Amino acid sequence: MGKKARKEREEKRESFAAKRTRQKRKSMLMTAGVLGIVIVIVGYSAYTFVNMQGSVPGAPPGAGVLNDDHAHTSILVRIFGDKFEFSSPAFQIKSSWIHFEGQDGDTIHRHSTGVTLGYLFETLGITVNFECFIFPDGRSFCNSDDYSIKFFINHEQVSDIAGYVVNEDDKILISYGNESSGEIDAQLLELDNQLIRR
């Protein structure tokens, strides 16, 4: 009986050892599989993050990375000769990408490459195009036989500014009415004398 009992114990030990080895192998394979999946997910996430910098959710179309550039531009908007003020809280810092700040309504701050004036006005709820200047409250100033909207960038008249990306020290004039060339010159001089706050 001693031999038989010893043999049974050895078989149990071998069976137990084989069972433990299988369990460890199974556990190791599962751990390796989970670790492999985690590595794939992290790698894919890193690749996606690096390649989406220009298309961050909420970013303007065509914009670069936030804070990859910083430009300051002076703007003057005159409607029937009256200056429009962007200094009110309703027009301050509506986007991190391009905005007015510090209760200053004369200086545009652009914080990324590729951000257009059209995007700035869109964030303010204002529509500006080659035909109209439309405020959030619905007031609109559109081209007619008597009045027109005019755009000037650094004293050069342009047909539209929506797609324009402002540069450091640019001077932008938007004028609506029936101004004479002398009145436009006076507005451009006023714009030249505006302080650009940095």
pLDDT digits (tens, 9 = 90+) for 76-125: 999 999 999 999 999 999 999 999 999 999 999 999 999 999 999 999 99
Phi and psi (nearest 5°) for 108?
-95, 135
Give the pair of three-digit tokens for residue 137. 């409250």
Tokens 């200047």 -> residue: 133
pLDDT tens readout for residues 7-33: 777 766 667 667 777 788 888 888 877
End-to-end CA gap in the chain: 98
Q: Distance between CA 1 and CA 4 in Å, rounded?
A: 5
- The size of the chain, in residues, is 198
pLDDT tens readout for residues 161-192: 999 999 999 999 999 999 999 999 999 999 99
Question: pTM for the full model?
Answer: 0.72
